[in-house]
Amino acid sequence: MTVGFSGDVAEYYAKFRRGYPEQVLDFLQGYFALSPEDSVLDLGCGTGQLAIPLAPRVRAVIGMDPEPDMLRLAREAAGERGVRNATWVLGADTDVPSLGALLGHKSSLAMTVVGQALHWMRHDELFRGLLPFFRVGGGIAVISNGTPLWLQDSAWSRGLRSRLEHHFDTELTASCGTADTDRLRYAQSLEEAGFSDLRSTTVSYTAELTFDQVIGGLYSAIPAEQLPTAEHRPAFEDGIRAALPHDEPFPEHVHVSVLVGRVG
């Protein structure tokens, strides 16, 4: 997992990326029987949108990400919220085999959660590599935190997508792991790796976005090498605003999908 989400992109990520509904955390706690004795791994943790709210429910959280800027902002956010049981580790999915030294011994994790990041990883290898690290009843949660802003079924999203495709001279079709076909593919891979009792759930809600939130969410998803420079952002944003069919707020229907599987 190597993605250029550093510098300004990480700052936008920390400020504008969606959090996760409490119902998602409740589902994870119930399915994995999370307790104050448990440790969990948030792989591809970003700036802590999942790791930080999970922390009060368990003994320890390990947030792992390949971007130092993401981890710095996650650490700052945890400090601001009084979270003291989170450890932030620089690493990608390919570094999972080295976790044994950090955990002290295998078969100790209650859960590994991957939120909106699995599409950057080699998920087949990852699932197999994680299998030995779980306690009985522990396992993996794959969470898709809503369709990308530019792929939603609304007039403003279609306007946004059209403008972005023109600006970057490419067709934007990648689902970022949010499509039903992605979920089926991940579920099959979990079964093949040896996980069982697969379940899924969806938590849906409606939000209204300001233009600044649309832009901030967009900037949080553009790799740093493609992000418009500071001096070019006003013109870029003017182009986006002109492509949207109406003024703010911009409604979006968010469907948070959770896929889980565990060891015996």
Is residue 131, in this structure, part of any structural domain at all?
Answer: yes
Domain that holds residue 52: 8-149+174-208+253-262
Among 256, 188, 264, 222, CA closest to 26: 256
pLDDT of res. 173: 84
User: Structural domain tally of the chain?
Assistant: 1
Q: Three-state DSSP class for 18?
A: coil
pLDDT in 10s for each residue of the chain, 264 residues: 445 789 999 999 999 999 999 999 999 999 999 999 999 999 999 999 999 999 999 999 999 999 999 999 999 999 999 999 999 999 999 998 888 777 766 678 999 999 888 888 999 999 999 999 999 999 999 999 999 999 999 999 999 999 999 999 998 887 777 788 889 999 999 999 999 999 999 999 999 999 999 999 999 999 999 999 999 999 999 999 999 999 999 999 999 999 999 997
Is residue 69, in this structure, part of any structural domain at all?
Answer: yes
CATH number at residue 12: 3.40.50.150
pLDDT of res. 104: 67
Dihedral sign computed on CA atoms, order 181, 186, 190, 196: negative
- What does pTM read for this prediction? 0.92
Token output for 219: 């900037």
C-alpha atoms less than 13 angstroms from C-alpha of 124 in its C-beta half-sphere: 4
According to DSSP, the residues that pair with 122 across neighbouring strands are: none
Token output for 2: 């190597």
Token output for 148: 């990308």
Position of tokens 């959090």? 19
Is residue 167, in this structure, part of any structural domain at all?
Answer: no
Token output for 29: 């706690």
Strand order in the sheet with 196-209: 86-90, 60-65, 39-43, 109-115, 134-145, 250-262, 196-209
